[in-house]
Structure 1
């Protein structure tokens, strides 16, 4: 009898898991780093073209492609800058797969923009 119960549980478990699935809220936080110093001024100049820019020291809030973005710079040295970027798309009615693809592309483009504008190789 225990074997039958175990098999029954194995078959029913996926049904219970799917029935109790937590809905994703289209929000993601990503940690990033670049191997050079990024000053707050350079970070600000990189994101000045965005809408609704709010700065508070080393924290920035802005809109990027209809997403609400919060960026916080954590470590700044001559050889490394690390920051966290939180992208919120809860107000948009997007499929979670679409959201992740778009935000992944946005995060990569944002990091490339920082590299292009703030890298020591560019004389900044």
Structure 2
């Protein structure tokens, strides 16, 4: 759920300036409804999103790879910038527990979006 929510937040914050691929090593069958509710509170709809399997090709085509605790299951390619955002897993928790995770993701996404924008304009 965090990966889909992060993609929805990143798409929203970046306003289409950054191409986002979101996938997991073992994705669930649907987006966590509580995550969908938490992002809807800030004007971002992800409930219709479908979790996808991460592919080597998608990672290889990316300049930045942001993981959320996938450890050794994530393929590593040279010349990619890797960030591991270890956040509390909100699975099975209510929206009150998900909001702080959503807000932390938003803060990190704003920072990485600014970094990418600065790097591209340099």
Normalising by the residue count of structure 1, what TM-score does the alignment of the two structures yield? Answer: 0.35
Normalising by the residue count of structure 2, what TM-score does the alignment of the two structures yield? Answer: 0.36
Is the radius of gyration larger for structure 1 or structure 2? 1
Question: 1 or 2, which has the higher strand percentage?
Answer: 1
